[in-house]
Amino acid sequence: MAFGVYVHIPYCIQRCTYCDFATYEQSKILPPDQYVELLFKEIRQKHRYYPPQSLDTIYFGGGTPSLIPAHLIVAIIKELGRFGFTTRPDTEITIEINPATINKEKLKIYLDNGVNRFSVGAQTFDDRLLKMVHREHSAKQTLETLDLLREHNLNFSFDILFALPSQTVDGLKNDVKIAIEQGAKHISPYCLTVPDGHPLSKGRPLEEEQVEMFDIIANELTAKGFQQYEISNFALPGFESRHNMLYWVDEPYWSLGLSSHSYSKESAWGTRYWNINNINDYQKQILAFDGQEFASPAKHLPENQFEILEMHQALTDFCHTSMRLMRGLNVAQLQNKFPQNVSDKVLSILARLQEKSWVKNDSGHWYLTREGLVLSNRVFQELTFLSEDV
């Protein structure tokens, strides 16, 4: 069984206009050393939720983790190790970075302490579009950051944002072309998602054009040897995100920091729990339990911060996460995890969806077809279960 830790670092240079994550401009939050001390206290309070073990992955997300001093990132890794959550030479340790937030000295500290994967939040190489979404960096700064990573032949991933107002197909192709040429091993295309009335909702490509844009990205990447292994993720063979795979293959994970969500298998169908998404309230809660240790969320957190899953919820999660992967839902795993009448119901639904050409079955796996990918939300709706359904 694989196991990983996610650490949320909520510091940003600025708030992007499309962002809905729990982040703060760096001048409007605790100093980084004080926030990291809260993380240490949280580790001490919750480390007994899971047995001590070597970690398959650590992921520093945000926000922009590369904004805070590098020695604090190292300190978090070491603090986890003090409580038995150690790293190995093959542990995947990812840090999200923004262009112009790292230099040679900071990079050396990361590399000397096991960080071996970098997720670059560049979004586009079009300065006009970067300015539109209030990104502080320029395309030139992105290229300079990628030059630094490439000097060390490092494993880095790249996010591409598409369906921006006034974004053209040619511009999108250029973004993909540059990302590949710069040596990205993993590329995640994200369709801009904003509510109606949002400043970025005007002038966006129509839904049909958004689908076309995704097709263009997929075709360009596939032609260069990338494989789509999840709905929104492409990688060269062997460079899939091992940490994200934990979420999609029903493995436990421990998440630390503001607004982070975790999953454990301490109950029959799993337990989910989460942290408060306001920094002041998060700080108060952590300090209220300072010096204490707990064995489970139910003995520690208020009822609105954890959920002991019932079978129908676990079944919904299993189906949704499995079907996000291109390899699809493994029938044997479904039948091992759930009673026969329940697994039979899922297989009946999938057979019905196959008649619509939304899914296919091959060698004991059900997976989305090309049409199913476009209509994935409708597939997931069919695979959402209530308590009376099981």
Amino acid at 347: L
The full set of domain ranges for the chain reads: 4-246, 311-389
**pLDDT at residue 18 in the model:** 46
**pLDDT at residue 348 in the model:** 98
Cα–Cα distances in angstroms (integers) from residue 299 to residues 48, 273, 293, 303, in the given order: 11, 12, 10, 10
**pLDDT at residue 198 in the model:** 64
Look at domain 311-389 and name its CATH class. Answer: mainly alpha
Q: Treating both helix axes as pointing N-terminal to C-terminal, what angle do 169-181 and 207-223 enclose, rounded to 10 degrees?
A: 30
Which residues have CB under 8 Å from 68's CB, separation 6+?
9, 11, 32, 35, 36
Which residue from 21, 22, 17, 23 is spatially nearest to 198, judged by alpha carbons? 17
Handedness of CA 332, 240, 73, 140 (dihedral sign): negative
Specify burial of residue 376 (Cβ count, 10 A radius: 0-12, 13-18, 19+). middle
155-162/186-191 β-pairing: parallel
Which residue from 21, 230, 253, 257 is spatially nearest to 121, judged by alpha carbons? 21
| DSSP assignment letter at 205 | P
Length of the chain: 390
What's phi and psi for 174, nearest 5 deg? -65, -40
Amino acid at 336: N
Blockwise average pLDDT, block size 10, the chain, 390 residues: 94 59 64 96 97 98 91 98 98 93 94 96 81 74 91 92 85 91 93 68 74 90 97 96 96 96 95 95 96 94 96 98 97 97 98 97 95 90 96
What's phi and psi for 308, nearest 5 deg? -85, 110
Which residue from 181, 189, 184, 182 is spatially nearest to 219, judged by alpha carbons? 189
3-state secondary structure of 121: strand
pTM > 0.75: yes or no: yes
**pLDDT at residue 129 in the model:** 80
Cα–Cα distances in angstroms (integers) from residue 53 to residues 81, 271, 292, 380, in the given order: 9, 19, 21, 34
Strand partners, 306: 273
**pLDDT at residue 27 in the model:** 59
H or E stretch at 169? helix 169-181
- The CATH architecture of the domain made up of 4-246 is Alpha-Beta Barrel (3.20)
**pLDDT at residue 193 in the model:** 72
3-state secondary structure of 2: coil
Instruction: Count how many Cα atoms sit within 13 Å of the Cα of residue 145 in the half-sphere of its side chain.
Output: 26
Handedness of CA 317, 321, 323, 327 (dihedral sign): negative
User: What's the token pair of residue 171?
Assistant: 């511009």
Question: How far apart, in whole angstroms, are the C-alpha atoms of residue 137 and residue 135?
Answer: 6
CA 223 to chain CA centroid, Å, is: 25
